[in-house]
A = this chain, B = another copy of it.
């Protein structure tokens, strides 16, 4: 799948902080992504991390116009305890990038680092948008339609209360509507049957809240409806969402393994698979999460896009562009409006 490009094209200056030390190939991939993202003439980027390493990653060690480097000595690893960052890792690239957003110097932060650490730092430094019970992470997945399915939450929250799921639904709906450009996207509640009485205790309590929410709620959906594209937005607790997302990410590896095993059976099989490879690649495009770039952390008073540690330069570039879109389309303003509306009709107080 190609990058989703919003239909509304608003042009104004956007300032992005890139945590240049987060990914597995930092800062090389991050710098490559910055160079590509500068094609948008109204983007300014603060690259946060170890100055010497970052400078060395730029061609001719030359920092382009519209790029500045903010030095940060410390690097957060995937093993670091998320809650410790704000207290004791103030010299880290992640903390410094997020602090730039807190003080208003940048509009958005992107990081391919430790997801838990990004979430905790964003929440503690920038706080939540008014009316948001819990920030959430949503992820696009491919579907049998022209547009993708957004699954929200995919791991930011476990043991979610019905009120949290309500807020995920509202935020996911706004995000989908703005980024994909769909008016009143359909929203389904992930469950084990379509009937409203099917599900677990939490989904049964959530169902009536979603009926009253300022969204286009169509009822329960099942695991099979994600790839089918039965609805635009699938709402679930982060426990299920994370399991489904990781299962989905493993499908492409499973298929590659199967094709490889077939190819190994004989030289003739190897030739057939070799001949078919380019077609396979095209047919399976969009199933590799990398092409979607990162996932948004929604509900924060700020814009944060989180990527996989193994993000490629293209994935990181897409993360920067996605952050720019979220800022320009004022997704946060829309979320505030929607949740204020929800609050005024009394559903968000449950």
| Nearest B residue (CB) for A269 | B279
Q: Provided the pairs A158-B192, A192-B239, A262-B283 are in contact, do residues A248 and B250 lie with their beta carbons within 8 angstroms?
A: no
Name which of A18-26, A33-41, A252-260, A300-308 contacts chain B.
A252-260
Contact present for A244 and B242 (CB under 8 Å): no
Q: How far is the CB of A254 from chain B (nearest CB, A)?
A: 4
Q: A157: shortest Cβ distance to chain B, in Å?
A: 10
Q: Which residue of B lies closest to A155 (CB)?
A: B192
Secondary structure of the A side of the interface? helix
Is B247 a contact partner of A200 (Cβ separation < 8 A)?
no
Minimum C-beta distance from A333 to chain B (A): 31
- The quantity of this chain's copies bound in the complex is 2
Chain B hits for A279, CB < 8 A: 262, 269, 272-273, 276
Q: State A20–B262 Cα separation when bound (angstroms).
A: 38
* A223–B225 alpha-carbon span in the complex (Å): 18
Cα–Cα distance between A156 and B167 once the two chains are bound (Å): 29
User: Residue A227 at the B interface, CB < 8 A?
Assistant: yes
Docked Cα-Cα span, A254 to B145, in Å, equals 10
A190 near B: Cβ within 8 Å? yes
Binary contact track A225-247/B, C-beta < 8 Å → 1, others 0:
11110000000111110111111
Smallest CB–CB gap between A165 and chain B, Å? 13
A345 in the interface (beta carbon within 8 A): no
- Give chain B residues whose Cβ lies under 8 Å from the Cβ of A249: 223-224
Q: Which of B158, B199, B253, B276 is in CB contact (< 8 Å) with A200? A: B158
Which of A144, A223, A244, A279 counts the most chain B CB atoms within 10 A? Answer: A223
Asked if A201 is at the interface (CB within 8 A of a chain B CB), the reply is yes
Give the CA-CA distance A142 to B159 in the complex, in Å.
Answer: 29
Q: Is A159 a contact partner of B283 (Cβ separation < 8 A)?
A: no
Given known contacts A247-B247, A262-B282, what 12 new A-B pairs fall within 8 Å (CB)?
A144-B254, A158-B192, A158-B200, A223-B242, A223-B246, A224-B247, A224-B253, A225-B250, A240-B243, A247-B248, A262-B283, A276-B279
